[in-house]
Structures are given as structure tokens and as C-alpha cells.
């Protein structure tokens, strides 16, 4: 079941990325945090229906001030159209980039708004490392994001970490931009 949800989540995310929905939903985020995500430069002729559009509350960034945004939706719906952005990393590195901090700051802010929410922090890697080492590297990426959130005052009890190594690439491509998208810490809402 979880894997089916994951597929839904990934496909919904890629749909929304593909049509520029991500940038529209996140106008308030600082530009530095978006540098790792390839923004759509061309507009597709007909926008595919995404979760964001079918849910009247999903298309707003005002998640912080709109509690209904998560309380009116299931976990699957929240994760399929997550208000939380992925944290980027350099190759073979779990060091938080400057561009990661605004993303994590916003994640912490969001967590403070929704004080009952718990998150799973997933560490992911690009395909260029080895299977075995990437499991360890992904864990370190998840832990880096986790430690930063805890340092901002988020109780550790609300966060768990896991590494998926290079097993679940967000982008199946073999390009620099695909690799950049796949090196990430990703947040899944596990309870609200």
C-alpha cells in the first residue's frame, strides 16, 4: 500500500513540477532555496490535472496561515502535494548548502504552525554512487536535515530519519539536473 502511495506521490509531484505548479505554489519562498529544482521554462499547452488543482485548498502557499490545508486532507493528499520542499545536496556530500537553509527554516516554521505533525526525513542519493555507500550517505543527509530542524527547536520526537540510498530516484534521468534533483532530503508527513 505504502508503495502505491509513493508512486502516486511521485507522479503527482512530477506533474506539478512539469507544469510549473511548484513555483506557483511557492511564491513566498526565498529564491535561494529553489536553485536545485529545475523550474519549467516552457508552458505545456494543456495543463495536466494535478492534485493541486482538484483540491481547492492545495494551490495556496498560505499553508502556514490556513490550518484547513492539512487538517482537511488525508496524509496521502498532503504528501502528494506537499507544502515542504526537498533539501538539495552536492555529490557525495551531506553538508547542508546555503540554499538548503531557507528551505529548512521554512520547514521548521511550518512544523511550528502545525504542532502535532510528525515527519519522516528521507535521505536520497543520485545514481552515481554505489548501492551500499549511498545507504549510509542518504542516512547522513537525512540526519543533517534532522539536526538542523532540531537546532531550530523542533522536538526530536516529531522527526524520524530513514535512508533510501539511490533506490528511489525522483527523476529517472541520467543528466546533471536529474542527479541534482535526486540528491535530496525529502519530508513525508507521517501524522498530523
Partner 1 sequence: MRHLLRAFLVMGGVLVALVLLQNRIHSAGRIQEENLPQQPSSGDWYVNIARPGRPVTMAIPDFEIGTSDAAEAGKTLSEVVWNDMEFASIYRLIPKRLYSIAGNPADARKIDFYQWESIGADILIRAVSEVQRDRLVTEVRIYAVLAQEMVFGKRYDGPLSAARRMAHRITDDILLQAGNYRGINQTKLAFASDRRGEQSKEIYLMDYDGFDQKPLTANKSLNLTPTWSPDGRALAYISYRTGQPSLYRAFIYEGRGDTIVSGGGMTFSPAWSPDGKLIAFTSTRDGNSEIYVSNADGGDMRRLTHHGAIDTSPAWSPTGREIAFTSDRTGAPQIYAMDTEGLNLRRISFEGSYNDSASWSPSREYSELSYASRIERGPFDIVIYDFQTKQTRQLTTGRGSNESADWSPNGLHLVFTSTRTGTSQIFLMNRDGSNPRQLTRESNNTTPQWGPVPGQDS
**CB count, 10 Å around CB of 42?**
8
Q: Hey, which residues between 57 and 116 contact partner 1 (CB under 8 A)? A: 92
Cα–Cα distances (Å) from 28 to 61, 64, 78, 104, 135, in that order, read 7, 11, 19, 14, 33
Q: Binding to partner 1 by residue 3, rule CB under 8 A? A: yes
Cβ at position 155, least distance to partner 1 in Å: 18
Of the pair 50, 163, the CB lying nearest partner 1 is at 163
What backbone phi and psi angles, to 5 degrees, belong to 191? -160, 160
Candidate segments 46-54, 76-84, 148-156, 158-166, binder of partner 1 by CB under 8 A: 158-166
Count the residues of the shown chain that bind partner 1, applying the rule CB under 8 A: 23
What backbone phi and psi angles, to 5 degrees, belong to 82? -75, 140
Q: Binding to partner 1 by residue 4, rule CB under 8 A? A: yes
* 141: nearest Cα among 105, 94, 177: 94
Candidate segments 11-19, 35-43, 78-86, 131-139, binder of partner 1 by CB under 8 A: 131-139
Please identify which residue in 130, 151, 177, 191 interacts with partner 1, judged by CB under 8 A. Answer: 130
Q: Binding to partner 1 by residue 137, rule CB under 8 A? A: yes
Q: Binding to partner 1 by residue 163, rule CB under 8 A? A: yes
Phi/psi class of residue 153: alpha, beta or left (left: φ > 0; alpha: ψ in -120 to 50)?
Answer: left
Cross-strand bridge partners of residue 160: 120
Of the pair 153, 172, the CB lying nearest partner 1 is at 172
Candidate segments 2-10, 22-30, 37-45, 97-105, binder of partner 1 by CB under 8 A: 2-10
DSSP state of 59: T
d(CA 150, CA 147): 5
DSSP state of 31: G
Q: Binding to partner 1 by residue 131, rule CB under 8 A? A: yes
Residues that bind partner 1 (CB under 8 A): 3-4, 6-7, 92, 127-133, 135-137, 139-140, 162-165, 167-168
Amino acid at each position: 500500500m505504502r508503495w502505491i502511495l509513493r508512486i502516486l506521490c511521485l507522479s503527482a509531484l512530477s506533474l506539478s513540477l512539469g507544469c510549473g505548479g511548484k513555483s506557483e505554489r511557492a511564491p513566498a519562498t526565498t529564491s535561494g532555496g529553489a536553485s536545485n529544482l529545475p523550474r519549467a521554462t516552457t508552458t505545456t499547452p494543456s495543463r495536466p490535472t494535478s492534485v493541486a488543482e482538484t483540491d481547492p485548498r492545495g494551490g495556496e502557499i498560505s499553508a502556514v496561515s490556513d490550518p484547513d490545508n492539512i487538517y482537511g486532507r488525508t496524509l496521502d493528499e498532503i504528501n502528494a502535494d506537499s507544502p515542504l520542499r526537498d533539501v538539495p545536496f552536492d555529490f557525495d556530500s551531506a553538508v547542508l548548502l546555503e540554499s538548503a537553509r531557507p528551505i529548512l527554516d521554512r520547514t521548521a516554521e511550518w512544523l511550528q504552525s502545525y504542532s502535532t505533525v510528525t515527519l519522516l526525513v528521507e535521505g536520497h542519493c543520485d545514481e552515481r554512487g554505489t548501492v551500499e555507500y549511498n545507504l549510509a550517505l542518504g542516512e547522513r543527509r537525512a540526519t543533517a536535515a534532522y539536526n538542523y530542524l532540531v537546532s531550530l527547536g523542533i522536538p526530536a520526537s516529531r522527526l524520524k530519519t530513514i535512508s533510501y540510498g539511490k533506490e528511489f530516484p525522483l527523476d529517472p534521468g541520467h543528466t546533471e539536473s536529474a542527479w541534482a534533483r535526486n540528491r535530496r532530503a525529502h519530508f513525508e508527513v507521517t501524522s498530523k
